[in-house]
Amino acid sequence: MINTILLGILGGMGGSETLLIILALLLFFGGKRIPELAKGLGRGIKEFKDASKGVGEDENKIEEKK
């Protein structure tokens, strides 16, 4: 499952390249730090989406006032 998600994200990379990246991540960060990094990345993406929605709503309110 993880490989299919990574392959969808990374495009035309094969299984061996994906495996090599996963092994490199394990070596650099260790097994305990990877979930923490993924959780932090997910929070950052969520905050970015929320902020971009807020900007769009603010623009709509400004246009309605004109």
Per-residue pLDDT of the chain (66 residues; tens, 9 = 90+): 555 665 566 566 677 887 888 888 888 888 888 888 889 989 998 998 888 887 666 666 666 665
In the Cβ-directed half-sphere of 23, how many Cα atoms lie within 13 Å? 6
Would you state the pLDDT for residue 43? 93
Would you state the pLDDT for residue 26? 85
**Integer CA distances (angstroms), 50 to 31, 37, 45, in order:** 30, 20, 9
Would you state the pLDDT for residue 31? 81
Would you state the pLDDT for residue 62? 62
Q: What is the pTM of this model?
A: 0.48
